[in-house]
Amino acid sequence: MELNEILLIISASVAVVGLIYSFYETITKGPKKKRIELAKILQALPSYIKEAETIFGAKTGVAKLAYVLNKINIACIKANVDFDEDQWKVEIEDILSTPQKKED
C-alpha cells in the first residue's frame, strides 16, 4: 500500500466514526436537548411580551402578537427546534391570563 492509500483509508475511517457518533448523539440526546431549548425559549417568553408592550404600547395587540411570535420563531430556528405557532399562542395566552406580581 502506498502512503496516499493509507491516508485515504484513515480519513474515511475518521469520517465514518464521526458520522456514527453524530447519529448516536442525535438519537440519544436529541429529544432531551430540544426540551431544554424549548424550556429556555418559554422562560424568555415574558421578556418578549414585555418588549412588545414597550415597543407597541397598550394597543395594537395583533402587532404585539406578531412581534412575539417572530421572536419565538427566531429563537426556535437558532435552537434547531420546531416552531408550532398555535402552541406558542396558547403559551402566550396562559402568560397573559396569569395575574402578575407588582414590582415594587
In a domain, 12, yes or no: no
Note whether residue 48 is domain-resident. Answer: yes
Q: In total, how many domains does the chain have?
A: 1
- The predicted pLDDT at position 101 comes to 53
Q: Is residue 7 part of a domain?
A: no
Q: Is residue 47 part of a domain?
A: yes
Chunked in runs of 10, what are the mean pLDDT values of the chain (104 residues)? 76 76 67 84 92 84 90 89 89 83 50
- Please, is 72 exposed, middle or buried when counting C-beta atoms within 10 Å of its C-beta (0-12, 13-18, 19+)? buried
pTM of the model: 0.65
Range of the domain at 52: 30-97
